[in-house]
Chains A and B, each alone.
Chain A
């Protein structure tokens, strides 16, 4: 499993943590049991897995967030552009627009982003 990708089930779990963090493992287990119907061991397994990917950390019974949700998805899309378009954002945009044209509003937003960087 790649570092910056979450399966749908994993992301449901990650959402719970992002929403409630920092929280104790006990609380997390209760939340997961209620929302996902998981057993204690399953929660621990998934938490461990996501901790290994550097997203969360279990600090003596308290679950803390190392990468927050926005950061994670930003890195994920960076990673995606990197992998699929050799890091070329224009390439990505070209692929994105090849099938449908951008609306004026979208063009303006992109222009704003570029202007801010300058």
Chain B
């Protein structure tokens, strides 16, 4: 339904522009004394645009090209971004309603915009239904009143309880007249209503009313409906005048005036005689002259131009004339080059180009690198950022080839590969179903589901991400493959990022902090944000650090094990997260399993997410909803009693009846060189004391 709603927003927006043009044309027409039937006809254009999702493209289109980007999905933006990163700055302002939310279901989306879209679409449907229901109720009540009526002749009826004559009924229209109508007014009124019937105005008005109800949120649609009603009445008056001859104009105008004085207006589906602005109509009748040929020709030319200009969309690609007849809506997937080209053109064609706030740290990574630990040795592999529909993933440049759209295989070993696919929401297999196929959980808490099985000498893994994404990879069984391809594939899989919208997630290059042992701790002391899983995470103004306490064991197979020492560091000043107090301070939280660190500058609506295993930093819109956060912090008083340097430390549950113990940071002289982590009776020195040392991170 959100899709329909977004489609509708697009149409409403475009049709709104058309309405403005028509209002202008209508004004020019009235200045030039063009008969109202031409103005009436003009309204066909916006109402077609309000409901018709498909339109032709032509070079004559008056609509801004900009609006086309409404249709485009993130994939195009990403593609564009991947090709030439500088165009990332040009985000069209018109599309503030971020229409490209790609997370499959709002429940899984961290994008507040998408949730908002979902809410709005429900409100839209409910109000539209309510309005249609209300109109039908009104119609039903009116019909009931009308049962008590007498047939005057043919389809003309008299009724007591109505104020104004009108036509009702789409298939078999009937004219209803107030029973107290005077004899001499009668014929004019009947003539007017019969003209309505002949011109099928009732059907046209009912259709326009329905369209207006669907676009109830758009004031321009209501304006169009009201103005169209006026033009309809006036052009109907003109038709009557043509039939009556000019000398009877005054009598006709008199009848109109008497009927409209002190009477209620019937809104909506019925066509009332006294409807619309009476003053304008009387003036129009009195001014009516047989139109000159030239005015008619002029009006027809304007109408033809407006149909060409407003009923068509601009060409999506400038240099391919055969595209004139191609349909805009569906080509986002099939012709990404074209749309990207169009989007690229916006740079020059439009003044409404928004510069995103480009902080110094927000540079696009020119050539991304996959870095990970294999057998204790840091590995860096140059990679390429592949952009699929709604996701990006890093694939190493060397040793891999793309087999199909979403599938890559190793060129080194033909039994190694990785595939990305998207489930229909109903097809998502449960853990149980997978278990029946021999998949067992790997117990990776960072993901909703990570299972693996070994069959026919092939080790297969399935990961579920963001609800409906499946990452499937496989490699031959055996310890050396586990450590080689197994690790690499896991790291590749971890670079998978579903794109919830074009702006909300972007990868940030990590700057290594520059530290020396003689630097002092911050005013708050260094905060211990996480301890557990054989690692600690701490931060201060000088940076965020992940320190592995793993002194033995195999490294690089299981993602939860890292080599001893500093395994990750981020320069917080580079991303504006260095403050530990004050209004600009940065809130640092860690996921319960210690795999992700969330850095949230208090006054900003975004956050940075640092992934410990992949050492990647991404910027997202701020939301910690649904994330299990580490919260086993100790009371500050307890920590200070123990000699901790800051108020944040960890309280561990004592095993087998032993008392609880603490993990905290301490420094004898408030210098970095003497900063230690104390856990129970163990002490780890965090920075080696050697003068002038700086830290370089992989």
A interface vs B, CB < 8 Å?
Answer: 7-10, 12, 36-39, 41-42, 45-46
CB distance from A11 to the nearest CB of B (A): 9
- A50–B179 Cα distance when bound, in Å, is 17
B185 CB → nearest A CB, Å? 14
Counting CB contacts under 8 A, is B161 at the interface?
yes
Q: Are A10 and B160 in contact (CB under 8 A)?
A: yes
9 cross-chain pairs, A with B, having the tightest CB-CB distances, nearest first: A7-B160, A8-B179, A9-B160, A42-B147, A9-B179, A37-B151, A36-B150, A9-B150, A7-B179
Q: How far is the CB of B179 from chain A (nearest CB, A)?
A: 3
Q: Which residues of A contact B159 (CB under 8 A)?
A: 9
Q: Mark B76-96, 1 if CB is under 8 A from A, else 0.
A: 000000000000000000000
Q: Is the interface of A mostly helix, strand, loop or mixed?
A: helix
- B628 interface hit (Cβ, 8 Å): no
Closest CB in chain B relative to A106 CB, distance in Å: 25
Q: How far is the CA of A45 from the CA of B148 in the complex (A)?
A: 8
Cβ B179 vs Cβ A46 within 8 A = no
Chain A residues within 8 Å of B669, by CB: none
Q: Which residues of B contact A41 (CB under 8 A)?
A: 147
Distance in Å: Cβ of B11 to nearest Cβ of chain A:
44
A-B contact pairs, 17 of them (CB 8 A): A7-B180, A8-B179, A9-B148, A9-B149, A9-B150, A9-B160, A9-B179, A10-B148, A10-B160, A12-B150, A36-B151, A37-B150, A37-B151, A38-B148, A41-B147, A42-B148, A46-B148
Q: Measured between alpha carbons, how far is A10 from B150 in the docked complex, in Å?
A: 10
Smallest Cβ-Cβ distance to B161: which chain A residue: A7
The CA of A62 and the CA of B150, in the complex, are separated in Å by 24
Instruction: Provide the bound-state CA to CA distance between A41 and B150, in Å.
Output: 15
**Closest Cβ of chain A: how far from B27's Cβ, in Å?**
43
A45 to B158, CA, bound (A): 17
Q: Which residue of B lies closest to A45 (CB)?
A: B148
Smallest beta-carbon distance A6→chain B, Å:
8
Note all chain B residues with C-beta closer than 8 A to A7.
Answer: 160-161, 179-180
Nearest neighbor of B180 in chain A, beta-carbon distance: A8
Q: Say whether A8 contacts B148, CB under 8 Å.
A: no
How far is A36 from B148 in the complex, measured between Cα atoms in Å? 9
Interface SS of B by simple majority: loop
Tell me the bound Cα distance from A97 to B273 in angstroms.
35
Beta-carbon contact of B147 and A8 below 8 Å: no
**Residues of the A chain whose Cβ atoms lie less than 8 Å from the Cβ of B147:** 38-39, 41-42, 45
Q: Which B residues between 245 and 291 are near A, CB-CB below 8 angstroms?
A: none
Binding site for A on B (CB under 8 A): 147-151, 158-161, 179-180
Name the CB-closest residue of A to B160: A7
How far apart sit A41 and B161, CA to CA, in the bound complex (Å)? 17
Q: How far is the CA of A69 from the CA of B151 in the complex (A)?
A: 24
Separation in Å of the B207 CB from the closest CB of chain A? 30
Tell me how far the C-beta of B156 lies from the nearest C-beta in chain A, rounded to whole angstroms: 12
Q: Complex formed: what's the CA distance from A42 to B149 in Å? A: 9
Report whether B151 and A8 are in contact in the complex, using a CB–CB cutoff of 8 Å: no
Most chain B beta-carbon contacts within 10 A, residue among A8, A12, A36, A39 = A8
- Knowing that A8-B179, A8-B180, A36-B151 are A-B contacts, what are 18 other residue pairs whose CB atoms are under 8 Å apart, sorted by A's residue number? A7-B160, A7-B179, A8-B158, A8-B160, A9-B158, A9-B159, A9-B179, A10-B160, A12-B150, A36-B150, A37-B151, A38-B148, A39-B147, A42-B147, A42-B148, A45-B147, A45-B148, A46-B148
The residues of B that contact A38 with a CB separation of less than 8 Å are 147-148
Closest chain A CB from B150 CB (angstroms): 5
CA distance A46 to B160 in the complex (A): 11
B-chain residues with CB within 8 Å of residue A9 when the two chains form the complex: 148-150, 158-160, 179
A52 to nearest B CB, angstroms? 14
Q: Closest CB-CB distance, A17 to chain B, in whole Å?
A: 15
Return chain B residues, CB-CB under 8 Å to A10: 148, 160
- List chain A residues, Cβ under 8 A from B161: 7
- Residues in B neighbouring A45, C-beta threshold 8 A: 147-148
Q: Which residues of A contact B149 (CB under 8 A)?
A: 9
Complex Cα–Cα for A9 and B148 (A): 8
- Residues from chain A with a CB closer than 8 A to the CB of B160 are 7-10
A41 CA / B151 CA spacing, docked (Å): 17
Across the two chains, which residue of chain B brings its CB closest to A39?
Answer: B147
Query: What residue of chain A has the Cβ atom nearest to residue B151's Cβ?
Result: A37
Give the shortest distance, in Å, between A42 (CB) and chain B (any CB): 5
Alpha-carbon separation in the docked complex, A45 to B179 (Å): 18
In the assembly, what is the distance between CA of A8 and CA of B148, in Å? 11
- Residues in A with CB closer than 8 Å to B179 are 7-9
Most buried by A among B158, B159, B160: B160
Q: Which residues of B contact A36 (CB under 8 A)?
A: 150-151
In the complex, residue of chain B having the shortest beta-carbon distance to the beta carbon of A46: B148
B164 CB, min distance to chain A CBs, angstroms? 15
Q: What is the bound-complex CA distance between A38 and B147, given in angstroms? A: 8
| Chain B residues closer than 8 Å to A37, beta-carbon distance | 150-151
In the bound assembly, the distance between CA atoms of A45 and B149 in angstroms comes to 12
Chain A residues with CB under 8 A of B150: 9, 12, 36-37
Chain B, residue nearest A7 (CB) = B160
| Complex-state Cα separation, A9 to B180, whole angstroms | 9
Q: In the complex, which residues of chain B have a beta carbon less than 8 angstroms from the beta carbon of A8?
A: 158, 160, 179-180
Q: Which residue of A lies closest to B159 (CB)?
A: A9
Q: How far, in whole Å, are A38 and B440 apart by their CA atoms in the complex?
A: 77
- Whose C-beta in chain A lies nearest to the C-beta of B146? A42
CA distance A38 to B161 in the complex (A): 16
Alpha-carbon distance A113/B126, docked complex (angstroms): 68
| Complexed CA–CA distance, A46 and B149 (Å) | 10
CA separation between A9 and B147, bound complex, in Å? 11
- Inter-chain contacts of B148 with A (CB < 8 A): 9-10, 38, 42, 45-46
Question: Nearest Cβ in chain A — how far from B480, in angstroms?
Answer: 90
Separation of A8 and B182 alpha carbons in the complex (Å) = 12
Question: In the complex, what residues of B have CB within 8 A of residue A39's CB?
Answer: 147
Docked CA distance A91–B269 (Å):
46
Least CB distance from A5 to B in Å reads 10
Complex Cα spacing A41 to B159, Å: 16
For residue B540, give the distance in angstroms from its CB to the closest CB of chain A: 84
Rounded to whole angstroms, the CA-CA distance of A36 and B159 in the bound complex is 12
CA A12 to CA B161, docked complex, whole Å: 14
Give the distance in Å from the alpha carbon of A36 to the alpha carbon of B150 in the complex: 5
Q: Tell me the bound Cα distance from A10 to B179 in angstroms.
A: 10
Distance, CA A101 to CA B151, complexed state (A): 39
Chain B's nearest CB lies how many Å from the CB of A96?
A: 20
> What's the Cα separation between A12 and B256 when bound, in Å?
27
Output the least CB separation between B160 and chain A (Å).
Answer: 3
Q: B267: shortest Cβ distance to chain A, in Å? A: 23
Closest residue of A by beta carbon distance from B147? A42
With a CB–CB cut-off of 8 A, which chain B residues contact A42?
147-148
Contacts of B151 in A (CB 8 A): 36-37
Residue of A nearest to B144 (CB): A45
Chain B residues whose C-beta falls within 8 Å of the C-beta of A12 in the assembled complex: 150
Min distance, Cβ B358 to any Cβ of chain A, angstroms: 73
Residue of A with least CB distance to B181: A8
What's the minimum C-beta distance from A86 to chain B, rounded to whole angstroms? Answer: 23
Q: Name A37's closest neighbour in chain B (CB-CB).
A: B151
Q: Which residue of B lies closest to A6 (CB)?
A: B160
Output the least CB separation between B544 and chain A (Å).
Answer: 80
A106 and B148 alpha carbons, distance in the complex (Å): 39
Q: How many angstroms from the CA of A8 to the CA of B158 in the assembled complex?
A: 8
Q: Complex: how many Å from CA A10 to CA B147? A: 12
